A and B are shown apart, each in its own frame.
Chain A
Amino acid sequence: KQEVTQIPAALSVPEGENLVLNCSFTDSAIYNLQWFRQDPGKGLTSLLLIQSSQREQTSGRLNASLDKSSGRSTLYIAASQPGDSATYLCAVRVGTSGSRLTFGEGTQLTVNP
């Protein structure tokens, strides 16, 4: 059974810092991995999706990397801003059966002005 772990559970940084969020998964036979952002009381917003054949994806100040063999992904946020404050969720899709996304518990990020 796929298990997804995110460390740290919470992170507080001053504005402007570069930071890294970590995601690890137990079954390396993944189809893809997706990073989401969730604001309090709201749904999820997709940030980046990395296919199993890819090593990284970039969007603006965000860069996600994937190392399937070690079961790890990182989300790098450059020059953090208060508006980046949210919970960041990592989810993996196992195999090619399609439907199942397994989520981590998330990292709650606070960027202080």
Chain B
Amino acid sequence: ETGVTQTPRHLVMGMTNKKSLKCEQHLGHNAMYWYKQSAKKPLELMFVYSLEERVENNSVPSRFSPECPNSSHLFLHLHTLQPEDSALYLCASSQVLLGSQYFGPGTRLLVL
């Protein structure tokens, strides 16, 4: 498998559920990112990891919890989400922080 992969591609969850989104990059990159894309709004940066350390948290509510166990994997743990959290969640990676970002296909999340 090449590039950036994300699982699951689609997820429906209730507000009391706990779920996790997974991202894996096969590019040997050192930086990984989570973005949120809502309808009619620009992409919003959520979290940035460089060499497995979080370097940016863009004022994201604590119901979103990222985890980067190694440079190839990035998780986004979800708990007690709200309906307004329904969106497309995109993962990206880059060789270094200043480099061109490569995106995965996204996870379409619906919170009921």
Residues on A facing B (Cβ under 8 Å): 4, 31-32, 34, 36, 41-46, 49, 89, 91, 93, 96, 98-106
Contacts and interface: CB of A to CB of B under 8 A. Distances in A.
Contacts, number: 59
B87 interface: no
List of 8 A-B pairs having minimum Cβ-Cβ separation, nearest first: A98-B97, A43-B103, A44-B103, A103-B43, A99-B48, A103-B42, A43-B105, A98-B98
B98 A93 contact: yes
A46 B101 contact: yes
A98 B33 CA distance: 12
A54 B46 CA distance: 29
Contacts of B33: 99
A37 B76 CA distance: 24
Contacts of A32: 98
B40 A105 contact: yes
B72 interface: no
Which of under 10, 10 to 19, 20 to 34, or 35 or more describes the interface residues of B?
20 to 34
B43 A43 contact: no
Interface of B: 4, 6, 31, 33, 40-43, 45, 48, 50, 55-56, 58, 90, 92, 96-98, 100-106, 108
Nearest to A44: B103
18 contacts: A31-B98, A41-B106, A41-B108, A43-B4, A43-B106, A44-B92, A46-B100, A46-B103, A49-B100, A91-B43, A98-B55, A98-B97, A99-B48, A99-B55, A99-B97, A101-B101, A103-B43, A105-B42
